[in-house]
Structures are given as C-alpha cells and as structure tokens.
C-alpha cells in the first residue's frame, strides 16, 4: 500500500511540474519609447541625406540623375508656388524628364501662372528648373526641416491634403536683402512617398512671397 501511495505521489509531482512549465504566459510584445525614437531618428537621417543628394543634383544641373529618385507610378509634380494645383501642375515621369532634357531644342511647357499678373508660365524644362526649382542655393539653406513648414506666404499651403501620409523636407531662406524686410524669402519642399521601405520623390514645391 505504501508503495502504491509513493508511486501516486511521484506521478502527481511530475504532472504538476509539467503543467506549470507549459502554462507560462508568453511575454506581451510592446513597442517601447526607445524603439519609436529609433525609427523616427532613422527617418530623419534618411530624408536629410536624400534631401542633400537631390539638392546637389539640382545645383549641378544633373537632371538625368534626378530621374532615379522619381516615384515610379505617380511621377514628379512641379508646383511653382506653395499652392499645389492638381489640375494644372506639370507631372513628369522619370523617362519623360530624361527625354525632355535630351532634346536639342526643348519644348515650351505651360507650368501654371505667375503670381500677381496671372500671365502664363511658359518655359522650357531647363528654364523652369532655374527659376522655380533651384533659384537660390538650397543645397546650403539657412534652415532645413523634416515635416515642418518654415516659409509661410499668402498663397494657400495644401501640401498635407494633396500628399496625405507623405514626408517632406523644407529648405528655407528667410530673406537676402535687408531692404525687402523678408519679402524675398524662399523655400523649396521635396515631397517623398515610401514604397517597400524606399523613399521616392513625388513632388517639388517652390514657395516664395506672393501677393
């Protein structure tokens, strides 16, 4: 009888220990503040590097290289002022950009309207780049921000509604000549959209003081 009780006791202990080992709850995975901070830091680093690379391309007028950064589906929209006109702004694919730049005599393109006069902005791609993209040294701006607007003008800024969920950089100069009291400020915003962990350029928005 004692032997039977002893065997029963051993079996009870064995199954009790086994249940305890298998019933342990798995630790709940949580996203820590440090993890979130690391992701945000990585985004800032990537966008800062992209911004500088693209500004260098624009400064050196190496426009063919710009095509490698353009969004493969949506293309690249050019906005001469802070308001993004989805109906009239010019959108070019990477191939179209290369083709236009490769022409011996570039086409005259309608890019929108001049602020104040309402006259049509009719320029070649090269002329537009010099006037409404890289008209000042945006590679070395006074300030540069990620997802924060630095220049505020009279024209409506609708970037966030036109490009929901996208990221952007803002390279900004508060002004150049004291006599203009800041009315000669400039901003160039590069709009990026992410696909499979890669950022593509989908918009270039030039902004300045408007009437």
Q: Which residue has the tokens 């970037």?
A: 159
Q: How confident is the model at residue 152 (pLDDT cuts 50, 70, 90)?
A: confident
pLDDT band at 155 (very low <50, low <70, confident <90, very high): confident
- The model carries a pTM of 0.81
Mean pLDDT, the chain, rounded, equals: 86
Q: For residues 27 and 47, give the distance between their C-alpha atoms in angstroms, rounded to a whole number.
A: 35
User: Does the pLDDT value for residue 193 go beyond 80?
Assistant: yes
What pLDDT does residue 150 have?
95
Neighbours of 96 (CB within 10 A): 16
What confidence category does residue 21 fall into, taking pLDDT thresholds of 50, 70 and 90?
very low
Kindly give, in sequence order, each residue whose CB lies less than 8 Å from that of residue 63, ignoring residues fewer than 6 positions away. Answer: 57, 97, 101, 125, 126, 129
Which of 100, 148, 102 has the alpha carbon at shortest distance from 124?
100
Residue 120, sorted as left (phi over 0), alpha (psi -120 to 50) or beta, turns out to be beta
Instruction: Decide if pLDDT at 156 tops 60.
Output: yes
Q: Which residues pair with 143 in a beta bridge?
A: 172
- Model confidence at 27: pLDDT above 60: no
92 versus 152: the higher-pLDDT residue is 92
108 has a pLDDT exceeding 70: yes
């Amino acid at each position: 009888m004692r032997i039977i009780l002893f065997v029963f006791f051993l079996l009870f202990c064995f199954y009790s220990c086994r249940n305890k080992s298998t019933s342990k709850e798995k630790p709940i995975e949580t996203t820590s503040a440090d993890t979130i901070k690391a992701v945000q830091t990585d985004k800032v680093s990537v966008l800062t590097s992209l911004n500088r690379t693209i500004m260098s391309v624009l400064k050196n007028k190496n426009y063919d290289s710009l095509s490698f950064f353009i969004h493969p589906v949506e293309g690249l929209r050019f906005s001469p002022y802070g308001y993004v006109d989805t109906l009239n702004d010019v959108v070019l694919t990477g191939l179209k950009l290369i083709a236009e730049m490769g022409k011996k005599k570039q086409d005259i393109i309608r890019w929108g309207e001049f602020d104040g006069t309402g006259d049509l902005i009719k320029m070649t791609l090269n002329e537009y780049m010099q006037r409404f993209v890289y008209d000042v040294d945006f590679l070395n701006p006074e300030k540069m921000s990620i997802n924060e607007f630095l220049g505020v003008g009279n024209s409506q800024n609708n970037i966030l509604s036109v490009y929901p969920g996208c990221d952007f950089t803002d390279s900004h100069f508060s002004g150049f000549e004291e006599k203009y009291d800041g009315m000669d400020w400039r901003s160039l915003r590069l709009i990026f959209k992410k696909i499979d962990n890669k950022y593509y350029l989908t918009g270039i928005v030039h902004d300045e003081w408007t009437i």
